[in-house]
Amino acid sequence: MRRANTTRANMIHGNAIALVMSCATLLFGLGCGGSGGSSSQHTTITTTGSNVQPITVNAGPDGNYTNGAFTSVTVCVPGSSTCQTIDDVLVDTGSSGLRILSSVLTIALPQQKASDGNSIVECLPFVSGYTWGPVQSADVKISGESASSVPVQVLSDTDFPVPSACSDQGTSQDTLSALGANGLLGVGNFVQDCGGACVSTGADNPELYYECPSSGCVVTAESLASQVVNPVALFAADNNGVILELPAVSSPAASLTGSMVFGIGTQSNNGLNGASVYTTDDFGNFTTTYNNQSYNQSFLDSGSNGLYFLTSGATGIAVCPDAPFFYCPPSTQNLSATNEGTNGTSGAVSFSVANADDLFNDNPNAFVFVNLAGPNSLAGFDWGLPFFYGRNVYTAIGGKSTPGGTGPYWAY
C-alpha cells in the first residue's frame, strides 16, 4: 500500500515535470520565432520602402515548382535605357550571382571578353548538374536599388558548345523545364560565385571559367572583379546583405507573399530587431546538432525546396515509395535540432516532417508546404525554404560590416 502510494506520487510528479517541460518547449519554440511556421508571433513583413522587393512562393513559370520564392529583376544594357524586367526569378540564398535563361532574355547584353578578345563563358556546378553560358554585363535594378555593369551569367547550351568537363557534372539546368525558373538571383553569403580560387593559374583553380575561341573553349583564370557577382554587393547602398521575410504557414497553400529587404541595419526598416547572429565558416556552413550528433556542414538555403537532413538510415524515417527524395513517415513527426554558429550562438529549431505523398495527393493545387522534408547527403542539414516561413532571415555578405558584425552570417 505504501509502495503503491509512492509509485502514484512519482507518477504525478513525473506528469508535472512533463507538463512543465512541454510548456517550456512551447514557450521556447515561440521565443525562437516559429517552429516551421506553426508559430510566428515575431515575424513582421516589411512591405514598403525603396529597399523592399515583393517575393512570392508559388508554382513558378513552369507551373510545377514546390516551395520556390520568386521575384522580378530588371536588367539593362549598361548605361542605357534598354531594359527588360525578368519575372519569376528564383531567390536563392544558397548561391551568389544573377543567372538568366537565354530563352527569356530579349535584349542583347554586352559579352565579357578576355584580354585576347575571346568570349568568357562559365560552367557552374550545382548539386545535380550545371549551368553553362556566357558571362555578360548588365545594370541590375531591383526595387529602388541598382548596380552598374554587373557580370551575370546567361544560361544557354547553344551559344557556345558545352565542354565535356562541364556536361560531366550531370544535367544541364539551362532550360525552363530543368530550372523551373526564368533565372536564379543568388543573394548568398559570398560576393563572387567562385572567389580567389578561380583567380589562380595553378592546379588549385576549380576550372569554372572558360574562354571560347572558335577552336573550342578552354579553362581560364578569372579576376574577382570579372566573376559573376551577388548583385546586392554592388548596390550603391544597402549592399551588406538581404532579409527574406515570409509569413508563417499553417497548412498547404497555393501561394505565399513576402518581402526581400536589402541591407542590414542601413535603413529604419532593416535593423536586426533582436535576431540572433549565427556566423558561418569560410564555406558558408554552420553546425546543426540532432539526436546528439553534430553536423558541421549545415546551412540555410532559400533555394532548396524542403527541409533536407541526414538519411533514412540515420533518422529512421521512411522515404516515399515513389519519390525517395522525400520523407514519408506514417504520421507527422515533430522534431527538434539545434543550430550553432561559428561564433558560438546556438538556438533550438522545432520542425515537422509530414508524409510527402499525402501532402501532394491531398493538396494537388498547393505549392507551399512547411513540413516537406527529405534526406540529404550525410553532410548535414539543408534548411530550405520551409525554414524561412514565419521568420525574418538575414543573410550577411562576407567581408561587409553590419550592426551584427562582419559577414558572412545568418541571423533570425
Partner 1 sequence: MKRLFFRSPLRPSCAGLRAHSAAILTLLFFVMVITSLPAFAGLGEDATSISADQTRLRGTLRTTKSEGYTVHEIDSASGTAVREYVSASGKVFAIAWQGPWPPNMRQVLATYFDQYKQALPATQHAGRRPVLIQQPGLVVQAGGHMRSFAGRAYIPAMLPQGISAEAIR
Stretch that binds partner 1, among 15-23, 167-175, 240-248, 329-337 (CB under 8 A): 167-175
Cell numbers representing residue 55 in the block: 517575393
293 binds partner 1 (CB under 8 A): no
CA 220 – CA 373 distance, rounded (Å): 39
Tell me which H or E stretch contains 86.
Answer: strand 83-92
CA 35 – CA 306 distance, rounded (Å): 14
Enumerate residues 6+ apart whose C-beta is below 8 A from 316.
none
Task: Name which of residues 206 to 225 contact partner 1 (CB under 8 A).
Answer: 206-208, 211, 218-221
CA 286 – CA 75 distance, rounded (Å): 33
Task: Name which of residues 297 to 336 contact partner 1 (CB under 8 A).
Answer: 297, 299, 301, 303-306, 308, 311, 313-314, 319, 323-326
Stretch that binds partner 1, among 38-46, 337-345, 374-382, 386-394 (CB under 8 A): 374-382
Cell numbers representing residue 61 in the block: 513559370
How many chain residues touch partner 1 (CB under 8 A)? Answer: 80
CA 182 – CA 166 distance, rounded (Å): 21
Min dist. Cβ of residue 271 to partner 1 (A): 27
Min dist. Cβ of residue 254 to partner 1 (A): 15
384 binds partner 1 (CB under 8 A): yes
Interface mask (CB under 8 A) for partner 1, residues 351-370, using x and -?
-----x---x----------
Q: Is 202 helix (H, G, I), strand (E, B) or coil?
A: coil
Kindly give the pairing relationship between strand 405-406 and strand 52-57: unpaired
Q: Which is nearest to 325 in space by CA: 339, 337, 309?
A: 309
Stretch that binds partner 1, among 50-58, 133-141, 201-209, 342-350 (CB under 8 A): 201-209
Cell numbers representing residue 308 in the block: 533536407
CA 241 – CA 231 distance, rounded (Å): 10
- The residue from 177, 215, 268, 292 that contacts partner 1 (CB under 8 A) is 177
Stretch that binds partner 1, among 81-89, 103-111, 189-197, 238-246 (CB under 8 A): 189-197
Cell numbers representing residue 1 in the block: 500500500
Task: Name which of residues 24 to 83 contact partner 1 (CB under 8 A).
Answer: 60, 62, 64-68
197 binds partner 1 (CB under 8 A): yes
Interface mask (CB under 8 A) for partner 1, residues 222-261, using x and -?
----------------------------------------
